[in-house]
Amino acid sequence: MLSGLSREERLLLLRFVCAFAWADLEVRDQEREFVARLVDRLGLAEEERALVEEWLEAGVPAEEVDPNRVPRRHREPFLSSARAIVSADGVIDPYEADDLALLEQLLARGGAGPA
């Protein structure tokens, strides 16, 4: 399913993943490794990889992770990726759990994102 993502959708997915990595205010090595594997899997270009590295270093502005921008057909890969990053370090912080629950609720409403 990830192979069907457009360039903008891939970058949006990685914005969400990086934002979730920052949810507990600490990006751990396991989370960095997860992001690196995802970047490789998505086949990002060098300039896109540089953006992702910036997001891991400094975080992602909240307005750039709007669940309403997630296409309906890609909700499950976005949720799966969010679930994977919050559990990548073996510890699910309460902030991470809250953010994940909120994302699940917003995407489950059915009105978010284009078809």
Interval 80-109: pLDDT, tens: 999 999 999 998 989 899 999 999 999 987
| Number of structural domains in the chain | 1
Q: How far apart are CA 42 and CA 20, in angstroms?
A: 18
Whether 113 is in a domain gets the answer no
Interval 7-16: pLDDT, tens: 999 999 999 9
CA dihedral 74, 78, 80, 85 (to 10 degrees): 160
CA dihedral 75, 39, 32, 108 (to 10 degrees): 0
Whether 63 is in a domain gets the answer yes
Domain interval for residue 95: 2-108
Q: What is the CATH number of the domain that holds 46?
A: 1.10.3680.10
Q: How far apart are CA 31 and CA 22, in angstroms?
A: 9
Whether 114 is in a domain gets the answer no
30 has a pLDDT exceeding 90: yes
Backbone phi, psi, residue 5, to 5°: -80, 140
Whether 115 is in a domain gets the answer no
